Amino acid sequence: MSTNEQVAGKLEAIAQMMELLGEDGFRVNAHNRASRAVAGLAEDVAVLANSREALLAIDGIGPKTADKIIECVRTGTIAEYEELSAKVPVGVREILALPGLGPKTARAMWQILGIDSFAKLKAAIADGSLKTLPRMGDKAIAKINEAMAMAAETAQRHWIGPAWTVAQRVIGELKKHGSVARIEPAGSMRRGKETVGDLDILVALKEGKEADAEALIAMACKMAGVTQVISAGVTRASLRVLVDAGGTRWGGDEQAENSGATTAHSKGPTIQTDVRVVPLRSFGAAMQYFTGSKDHNVRLRALAQDQGLTLNEWGLFDDAIWKKHHTKGKVEDGTDLPKAVAGADEEGIYAALKVAFPQPEQREDRGEFDVKQPTRSIELADIKAELHAHTTASDGAMTIEQLARMAHARGFHTIAVTDHSQSSTIAGGLKPDRLRKHIDDVHSVHAKLHKELGITVLAGSEVDILTDGSLDYKDDLLAQLDVVVASPHAALTQDTEAATKRLLKAIEHPLVHILGHPTGRLVMRRGGLSPDMARLFAAAKQHNVAMEINAHWMRLDLRDTHVRQAVNAGCVIAIDCDVHAPSDYDNLRFGVMTARRGWLTADICINTWDAKKLHAWLKSKR
């Protein structure tokens, strides 16, 4: 976490605790303003804090808050923060952090009913005492229940993005051991779930090197980032490993720090990581077993039973042979296995059981056993265009040219520049005049780079869908854009009816190509809109609008189940990275995994089309 985030977090926490103690609104606001000012700084606050004048020159920072910032930079904390923390229970702040619950309510719960934890809040809902508070009806209580459920999930699970980074780091470290033949992540990570409980990493050692298992496990326990060895044996270890969510605008926030996943000495959130060494001839069986899902495995084992076979993490065996081996008292540690029907690779297991090979992302017992003629799932390498990207003109970190060169380096034939529209003021949305100039700029970069690299750079916009469903620019301006991504950004608590009407109106707009992050949800953070998806997909099909899977791991919107619904409804899909910074291109894999969880095939994803087909499709709306 950067110092800026730390300082901003402390100031915000001071403001919250003051509010909970019923302090003067003016002081509360001063700390909130200072917190936002620090969070928004492009410079390092630790450097700025060398000069009190420099701090005071910043809008939102006053003499008192300047001193606290200097104190925080020098000592790592603020005395007032520590004093307030002693007075306000952590649980009360967790309650305040629930979306939709304000300080007045949290304070009343605490002061009147003594509620200072989720447990007590749940009890007060159960015994009806919460209802005695002012403005606390059934609707408000339902909202609190929903928010608590989301917070409980947050405490135990991790976004796939940061978890992926940890898994890759661990795999990279362990690969350095010369005896490793195979090493891969299994579990929910391999299935591409939007959140991951723990990491399951499987290793097989080269033939003749099996005795190195213990050394490899010892190496795993000593890796950088390991904060705790929960257990370690000859062939497996359970570790807690630091999750580095830094470097992204979502990462390292306070809520994650306060969650149960934090180590006692609080270096930041950690994820449980199970490393298992399995025999090379069982690697496929172990991958199958530990990839799950549990529901999928239950079905598959039953199918094996029906065919007189036993399926376990060591392989697929003839029932009689396995039982005989078992009753002879041989230990199933993998060193002494009977002859298997299959087990070295997953494909062999599914083939022997006469089940069409399901992609890991499909293994949720959602119809994968009924597939007769498998279709090829979309793959990362199929994606040839990025159609939702931001530049320094709004809130992106790259210029048009940098963005386009990166897209070309990724092997894309097309990149669409879609900066924010005027209503997104915080994101630096473009007023119509600036957009007109920006279109010209994009076109000149296109002229240059198309000649040099052959890439097509399109001028577009991510246009806000306003509360009533109208778009944020007039039609004559929209018509000048090569690509229009229409997205909801504000008023994300609208009811289903209003949200459905709003999004339908955008889909029906003849100049819209793509509906961006349709619900506006943030994984484990914000529920977003809950429109009638069936109606949206039907309209999208009718009006030839692509529904976006926003690939950022914090969004993944459409989500997997929505994708499945959209595929069945027959509308086209876009998978976009919503690029703001260079590393955002890497999020594409999460969008593709979500697509695969929704059984998407490449042909109905517009980003896989060749340049000619894609450009013709875009022009059909002009």
Footprint of Zn ion (CB under 5 A)? 487
- Cα–Cα distances in Å, from 317 out to 311, 337, 380? 6, 10, 35
Is residue 238 close enough to count as binding ligand DGT by CB under 6 A?
no
β pairing state of 236-242 and 226-232: antiparallel
Tokens of residue 502, six digits: 């709003």
Q: At its nearest, how many Å lie between ligand DGT and the CB of residue 167?
A: 11
3-state SS string for 425-444: CCCCCECHHHHHHHHHHHHH
Q: Among 274, 346, 472, 482, indicate the residue that binds Ca ion (CB under 5 A).
A: 274
Is residue 368 close enough to count as binding ligand DGT by CB under 6 A?
no
Nearer to ligand DGT among residue 240 and residue 446 (C-beta):
240
Nearest to 361 by CA among 603, 607, 608, 601: 601
Looking at 196-204, 347-355, 376-384, 532-540, which segment touches ligand DGT (CB under 6 A)?
196-204
Q: In whole angstroms, what is the distance from residue 57 CA to residue 254 CA?
A: 27
Q: At its nearest, how many Å lie between ligand DGT and the CB of residue 437?
A: 48
414 CB neighbour count, 10 Å cutoff: 24
Nearer to ligand DGT among residue 318 and residue 365 (C-beta):
365
Q: In whole angstroms, what is the distance from residue 91 CA to residue 226 CA?
A: 28
Nearer to ligand DGT among residue 286 and residue 463 (C-beta):
286
Q: In whole angstroms, what is the distance from residue 150 CA to residue 69 CA?
A: 33
Nearer to ligand DGT among residue 293 and residue 402 (C-beta):
293
Nearer to ligand DGT among residue 62 and residue 197 (C-beta):
197
Residue 487 binds what, of Ca ion, Zn ion, ligand DGT, none (CB under 5 to 8 Å, by partner type)? Zn ion
Nearer to Ca ion among residue 289 and residue 585 (C-beta):
289
3-state SS, residue 293? coil
Q: In whole angstroms, what is the distance from residue 440 CA to residue 457 CA?
A: 12
Looking at 228-236, 290-298, 573-581, 598-606, which segment touches ligand DGT (CB under 6 A)?
290-298
Q: Among 60, 91, 99, 197, indicate the residue that binds ligand DGT (CB under 6 A).
A: 197
Beta bridge partners of 315: 312
Nearer to Zn ion among residue 487 and residue 594 (C-beta):
487
DSSP tally for the chain: helices H, then strands E? 26, 16
Q: In whole angstroms, what is the distance from residue 328 CA to residue 343 CA?
A: 22
Q: In whole angstroms, what is the distance from residue 479 CA to residue 621 CA?
A: 9
Q: Determine the longest span between alpha carbons in the chain, in angstroms.
A: 82
Nearer to ligand DGT among residue 71 and residue 313 (C-beta):
313
Q: Among 283, 290, 322, 585, indicate the residue that binds ligand DGT (CB under 6 A).
A: 290
Residues of span 184-213 touching Ca ion by CB under 5 A: 187-188, 198, 200
Q: Which residues, other chains included, contact 150 with Cβ-Cβ below 8 Å and sequence gap of 6+?
A: 99, 524, 525, 527
* DSSP run (H or E) holding 104: helix 103-113
Q: At its nearest, how many Å lie between ligand DGT and the CB of residue 271?
A: 10
Nearest to 419 by CA among 554, 615, 591, 579: 579
Q: At its nearest, how many Å lie between ligand DGT and the CB of residue 289?
A: 6
Q: At its nearest, how many Å lie between Zn ion and the CB of residue 423?
A: 12
Is residue 584 close enough to count as binding ligand DGT by CB under 6 A?
no
Q: Among 105, 188, 424, 494, indicate the residue that binds ligand DGT (CB under 6 A).
A: 188
Is residue 294 close enough to count as binding ligand DGT by CB under 6 A?
yes
Instruction: Name the site residues for ligand DGT (rule: CB under 6 A).
Output: 187-188, 196-198, 200, 289-290, 292-294, 297-298
Instruction: Name the site residues for Ca ion (rule: CB under 5 A).
Output: 187-188, 198, 200, 274
